[in-house]
Every structure is written in structure tokens, then in C-alpha cells.
Amino acid sequence: MLAGAVSVQFGSAFAALLFPQAGALGVVALRVTFAAVLLFVVTRPRLRGYSRADWAVAIGFGLALGGMNILFYQAIDRIPLGPAVTLEVLGPLLLSVVAARRAASLLWAALALGGVSLLGRDGFGQLNVAGVAFALSAGGMWAAYIVLNARAGARFPRLDGLTIAMAVAALVSLPLGITAAGGALLKPGVLGLGLAIAVLGSGVPYTLELLALRRLSAATFAVLTSLAPALAAMAGYLVLDQGLSLPQCAAIALVVTASVGAVRMGNRQVLTPPAADSPGDR
């Protein structure tokens, strides 16, 4: 599980290195399209025998997946990876708080808000207002992704629902990427790095997380997923040389703690498998 989480965040960090050549939309298009092709080759999903309601869930799942990737990559094109994931994780955190339906869960929400306030202590303008807005919007899409992922899992066997959703996300992101990057997407170096990012950000994590869910409880899995902001900060520092101030580190720690607390509280009431992906499928 930890290896998969690290792979996701380092995949996002390496994706940022490709932005100057292909742009954020171009990189999203490469990653999602390569991931869709890889999933189709590996899973060979069955496409017949589903109802309109099944297809509606799969398409909604794909739109949430594509939107999450597009918005998140727009965010990390403007603000450091660690703060971007810290803001993005507020979406799943809010979902956990709502699902818990307990007054005590509001304490975790307050702790997370305290972390975000600390992150913007010098004003969110320092982080780039647009980048903050994109990260928060990506968090909303992540919450939708979690809900629709669970519904797709109940309607489609194996990874068929995810594969179909990834294809929908590719159909959404590819035209945007081609429009933004044009012929740059066909450069061998760009294609090669795009494939590596797809493997790091999608192929490896999906495989490792599938194996992890056979050995870990849903509660443990969800808590480990909450470490995403800290892992993103580490990837941003090592790959992109994005240093963080002490207040920013403290803010990330508060949001991670709030996420762990909220998820554990929710899992005491009902254990449902969390989404297999982080803001990096992002």
C-alpha cells in the first residue's frame, strides 16, 4: 500500500517535469490515455450485458476521474505538490466527516480547516489563487470519484468498471491535450515519459493496491491513504526541489491527522473499501 502511494505521488512529481514541453493538459492526456490502453490490454473488459443505469454510473465515474486529473494537474502547474495534495484531500475528508454523521467528526473537520488556515497564513495569493481553486475543485471531484468508484465496483466485475471509466476519462482529456499541446505530444521523449508517468501513477499503484486490499482491512487501507499530503511533499522536495516552510509542514501534518481521525471514525460505523486512487491519478 505504501509503495503504491509513493508511486502515485512520484508519478505526479515527474509529470510536473513534463509540463514545460507538453503543458498540464497534454500530460494529463498522455497519462490517462496510456493508462486506459494498459487497463484494456490487461483486463479485457466485457462491454455487453449492462443496463443503462450501469453505463450511467461508469460514465459518471469516468467524468469524475478525468475531471480530478485535469483539475489536479492544473493545480500542481501553479502551486507546489505538497500544498496541492493537502488542499485536494479536503474533499475525501469532508466525505468521511459527512458519512460518519457524528458530532465528534466536526472536530476533525475543524482540525483540517486549521491546517488549511495555517497553510494560507501569509495569504493564499502567495500560493497562487487559481492553483488553490484548482486543488480544492480536484478535491470535490475526488470525493465524487470515491462514491462512484464504490457504485461501479458493485455493478461491474473485476476492474471492468475502472477500465471503462478510464476510457471515458481519456476521451475527455485527449481532445483538450491535443488542443493545448499539439504536435509536442508526438515527440519520442514526451511519449516515453508520458508512458512512464502512466505506469507510475496508474499501473503500479492499481496493482499494488489490489494486492494490499487482500491483506489489509479497509480501515487500515483508508488511514494509509490519508498519508498522501506528506508523501506528496516528500516527492515535491526530492524531484522538484520544492522546499516547504515550517508552517506549511505543520499545516500538512494537521490535515493528515484530521484525515486519519475522520476515516477511522467513519470505518468504525461501516467498512466500505475506499477508492484505489489518490489525487496523483492524478
Measured between alpha carbons, how far is 119 from 126 in angstroms, rounded to an integer? 10
Measured between alpha carbons, how far is 15 from 197 in angstroms, rounded to an integer? 6
Per-residue pLDDT at 275: 43
Report the share of the chain in percent with pLDDT over 90. 21
Given pLDDT bands bounded at 50, 70 and 90, which one contains residue 217? low
Measured between alpha carbons, how far is 179 from 68 in angstroms, rounded to an integer? 19
Measured between alpha carbons, how far is 247 from 182 in angstroms, rounded to an integer? 40
Measured between alpha carbons, how far is 32 from 260 in angstroms, rounded to an integer? 29
Helix-then-strand count for the chain, H and E: 12, 0
Higher pLDDT pick, 213 / 12: 12
**pLDDT tens digits along 112-145:** 777 766 666 554 556 788 898 999 999 899 888 8
**pLDDT tens digits along 240-271:** 888 777 877 887 788 778 777 766 665 555 44
Measured between alpha carbons, how far is 129 from 107 in angstroms, rounded to an integer? 27
Q: Is the pTM of this model over 0.75?
A: yes
Per-residue pLDDT at 257: 81
Burial pattern 64-103, b for ≥16 Cβ within 10 A else e, equals bbbbbbbbbbbbbbbbbbbbbbbbbbbbbbbbbbebbeee
Per-residue DSSP letters for 19-65? HHHHHHHHHHHHHHHHHHHHHHHHH----SS--HHHHHHHHHHHHHH
Per-residue pLDDT at 232: 82
Per-residue pLDDT at 214: 63
Average pLDDT estimate for 217-223: 62
Average pLDDT estimate for 190-199: 89
Measured between alpha carbons, how far is 161 from 246 in angstroms, rounded to an integer? 42
Given pLDDT bands bounded at 50, 70 and 90, which one contains residue 278? very low
Mean pLDDT of the chain: 80
